[in-house]
Amino acid sequence: MQRERVGFIGLGRMGKPMAMNLLKAGFELIVWNRTRSKMEELLSMGAAAAHSPKDLAEHSDVVITIVSDTPDVMEVILGDNGVIHGVREGMVVIDMSTISPCAAQQIAAALSERGVQFLDAPVTGGEKGAIEATLNIMVGGDEKTLERCMPIFKALGKKVVHMGGNGMGQVAKLANQIICAINILAVCEGLMFAKKLGLDMNKLLDAISDGAASSWMLSNLAPKMLERDFEPGFSIRLQLKDIRLALEMAQKMMIPLPVTALVGQLMRAVEALGFGDKGTQATILALERLSGVEVNW
Ligand code: NAP
């Protein structure tokens, strides 16, 4: 069977290495990014350039989007000059951004009127997972369409799980984000408490990193907090977006998420201090302001 021609929209921190992995896997690729200069590296590797999301869709069989937030996905897919104006019956559109589950369902409904299948397929694994093609991909939508797109997903990630109908991929991703956000705060409080009481932080991490407190956040973010390395893998700004999406959905469904709301307020304080573009490990800066202790080695 001839390989799908893939159109890729959004060459940010995640999208650029993902698009590169599709090229490396041998897919014919056409790309579009709002800031055109960010397309250059992909073009030098053999990708073609589209003039607009509509133009990109006209030259693709499968379109992938990974942009920032719900209105941005709406704009590139449903807006003027959006993907929807260039699609043909039988095509597939896959959104891999983290957005509102309800918006994913709205996009699916609009595309289905044109005979186009939609998959919401958000990811975990961060920039590292995008570069190394080891993302975990949570998919909502038609299972046969997922099977058709499996070669594409396999070029991007190591685990692909069908979560249910449209929107359920996003629900899974938001559950992941709730767990991650709360876990970051747990690491911050533990480190701050230990530092204030004078513990040797090397010994602390050695003692607890593979015990019951072990976690991805403790292993990966605690050393960064202690080194005062606040460069983003995943930014406070994007984590705040995901907390907002989770709280909006929870409010709609009358689900209490008290600790998620609290973490959101602390991260909002970090943003107000001017660190919104720093990584989520910068949450420690809010705890430091409250406790008056600097958390370092
Ligand atoms: P990013 O580096 O900030 O890149 C955002 C991309 O979206 C850029 O290409 C940007 O274009 C484009 N964009 C934003 N608004 C747009 C609009 N209105 N129209 C057209 N293009 C628009 O973000 P990222 O880290 O790659 O994250 C992308 C998505 O993946 C987000 O939904 C995020 O939550 C999710 N995600 C991120 C991570 C992570 O670790 N970073 C992990 C998992 C999931 P310009 O270049 O023109 O600005």
Task: Determine the pLDDT at residue 1.
Answer: 45
Do 182 and 135 sit in the same domain of this protein?
A: no
The pTM of the full predicted model, rounded to 2 decimals, is 0.96
Number of domains the chain is built from: 2
| pLDDT of 163 strictly over 80 | yes
Question: pLDDT tens digits, residue range 170-213?
Answer: 999 999 999 999 999 999 999 999 999 999 999 999 999 999 99
Q: Is residue 270 part of a domain?
A: yes
Do 144 and 10 sit in the same domain of this protein?
A: yes
CA distance 54 to 156: 24
Q: Is residue 40 part of a domain?
A: yes
What's the average model confidence in pLDDT over 266-275?
98
Question: pLDDT tens digits, residue range 120-143?
Answer: 999 999 999 999 999 999 999 999
Element (H, E) at 253: none
Q: Is residue 175 part of a domain?
A: yes
Tell whether ligand 1 has an atom less than 6 A from the beta carbon of residue 268: no
292 C-alpha to ligand 1 centroid (Å): 35
190 C-alpha to ligand 1 centroid (Å): 31
Question: pLDDT tens digits, residue range 239-253?
Answer: 999 999 999 999 999
Tell whether ligand 1 has an atom less than 6 A from the beta carbon of residue 233: yes
CA distance 29 to 133: 17
Q: Is residue 297 part of a domain?
A: no
Domain end position, chosen among 142, 164, 186 = 164
Tell whether ligand 1 has an atom less than 6 A from the beta carbon of residue 107: no
Q: Is residue 296 part of a domain?
A: no
Task: Determine the pLDDT at residue 2.
Answer: 56
Task: Determine the pLDDT at residue 3.
Answer: 81
Do 229 and 284 sit in the same domain of this protein?
A: yes
Do 222 and 91 sit in the same domain of this protein?
A: no
Size of the chain, expressed as the number of residues it contains: 297
27 SS3 class: coil
Q: What is the CATH number of the domain that holds 176?
A: 1.10.1040.10
Domain that holds residue 269: 171-291
Task: Determine the pLDDT at residue 7.
Answer: 98
Do 30 and 98 sit in the same domain of this protein?
A: yes
29 contacts 23 by C-beta, under 8 angstroms: yes
Element (H, E) at 152: helix 143-156
What's the average model confidence in pLDDT over 31-39?
98
- Residue with CA at minimum distance from ligand 1 atom 13: 67
Do 87 and 191 sit in the same domain of this protein?
A: no
Q: What is the CATH number of the domain that holds 113?
A: 3.40.50.720
